[in-house]
């Protein structure tokens, strides 16, 4: 009897090819489409599944997606934070509900079309995620806060492929495919600032230097993020960058670029897939503070209290934005991830 695998099936080329691979490997593939928006084109996705002779299951999670992902996205920007909705969605929507379905139907595995690898490591007696082959598109960062217990049954069929290889293989197999590049944030069709204007009223304030000198004014604080230079429109004797966004204090602190570089970051709510103490050489641990950011080696990880860690860096890292995700790696192994926070009030 074939082993069942529940596949997160969006109708895009990645989940389609992942399903195709699993089917060729002899699995009984059960594709599941999570309907995240009321106007989603379910028929289009169903037709894609039928190309593989697969019967699509549709689960309406639009309410859960709005409450868990969209509302938190809006709330974070209200507070002057920079959220990462994709990391949250993978943890609280996609992987969570795939695993719930797996248990319900007694399937052996779950799978997604992420460009990342997952392997079993006998020395730690667990499965861990690794960076994918495609360094331009590899997506292990977005899986950094998936619950560690959910890795046990997870398959990632695209880890050994590059994006362009998948596109070419689909064509070679005779499938006609118009593949649009996926949006950074799936629920925003245009500029995120225009989206936020529908939910957050203006909260005008001043651009200030750290000294308190006022340099200008703004209307919408969420139009600015830590590290931003473009769009400030403040003539000054040196280039200015956003250092802090403090909407409720009605100010955005700006300053020289060197003020953005930090020798330590504070991280909360870390989901450890592999604890630092289990790593033979902690000097080989690195962190990644944004999806496109280069990994930076750490000097030390110090646990403070209340689930908060202080991560000493070598060298300094540019513009760690509160609200963003800090992913931990041991060489190419994903160790887990947590949320970057401001150091104020952390306690030592």
User: Active-site positions?
Assistant: 89, 186
Decide if 35 contacts 10 (C-beta within 8 A): no
Q: CA 327, CA 264: separation in Å to the nearest integer?
A: 14
Report the side by side order of strands in the sheet with 4-8.
Answer: 57-60, 28-35, 4-8, 109-111, 154-155
Structure tokens at 196: 């936020």
Burial class (CB in 10 A: 0-12, 13-18, 19+), 39: exposed
- Here the tokens at position 43 are 């028929």
* Calpha distance 143→114 (Å, rounded): 9
Check if the beta carbon of residue 145 is closer than 8 Å to that of residue 189. no
Contacts of 226 (CB under 8 A, 6+ apart): 82, 242, 243, 244, 245, 260, 319, 320, 321, 322
Sole residue written with tokens 């996609």: 94
Give the tokens for residue 174.
Answer: 């005779």
Q: Which H or E run includes 4?
A: strand 4-8
How far from each other are the two terminal CA atoms of the chain, in whole angstroms? 56
């Amino acid at each position: 009897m074939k082993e069942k695998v529940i596949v997160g099936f969006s109708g895009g080329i990645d989940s389609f090819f992942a399903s195709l691979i699993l089917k060729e490997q002899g699995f009984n593939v059960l594709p599941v489409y999570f309907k995240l928006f009321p106007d989603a084109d379910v028929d289009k996705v169903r037709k894609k599944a039928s190309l593989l002779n697969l019967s699509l299951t549709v689960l309406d999670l639009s309410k859960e997606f709005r409450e868990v992902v969209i509302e938190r996205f809006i709330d974070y920007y209200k507070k002057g934070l920079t959220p990462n909705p994709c990391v949250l969605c993978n943890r609280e929507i996609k992987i969570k509900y795939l695993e719930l379905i797996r248990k319900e139907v007694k399937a052996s595995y779950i799978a997604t079309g992420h460009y990342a690898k997952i392997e079993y490591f006998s020395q730690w007696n667990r499965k861990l995620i690794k960076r994918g082959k495609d360094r331009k598109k590899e997506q292990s960062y977005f899986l950094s806060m998936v619950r560690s217990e959910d890795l046990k049954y997870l398959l990632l069929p695209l880890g050994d492929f590059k994006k362009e290889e998948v596109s070419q293989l689909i064509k070679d197999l005779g499938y006609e495919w118009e593949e649009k590049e996926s949006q950074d944030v799936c629920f925003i069709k245009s500029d995120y600032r225009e989206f936020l204007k529908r939910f957050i009223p203006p909260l005008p304030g001043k651009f200030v230097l750290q000294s308190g000198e006022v340099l200008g004014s703004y209307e919408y604080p969420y139009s600015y993020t830590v590290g931003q230079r473009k769009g400030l429109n403040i003539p000054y004797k040196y280039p200015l960058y956003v250092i802090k966004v403090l909407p409720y204090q009605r100010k955005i602190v700006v300053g020289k670029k060197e003020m953005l570089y930090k020798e330590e970051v504070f991280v909360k709510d870390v989901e450890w897939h592999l604890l630092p103490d289990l790593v033979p050489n902690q000097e080989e641990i690195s962190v990644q503070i944004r999806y496109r950011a280069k990994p930076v080696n750490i000097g030390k990880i110090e646990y403070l209290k209340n689930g908060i860690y202080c991560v000493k860096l070598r060298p300094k890292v540019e513009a760690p934005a509160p609200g963003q995700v800090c992913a931990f790696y041991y060489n190419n192994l994903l160790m887990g991830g947590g949320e970057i926070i401001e150091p104020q009030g952390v306690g030592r």
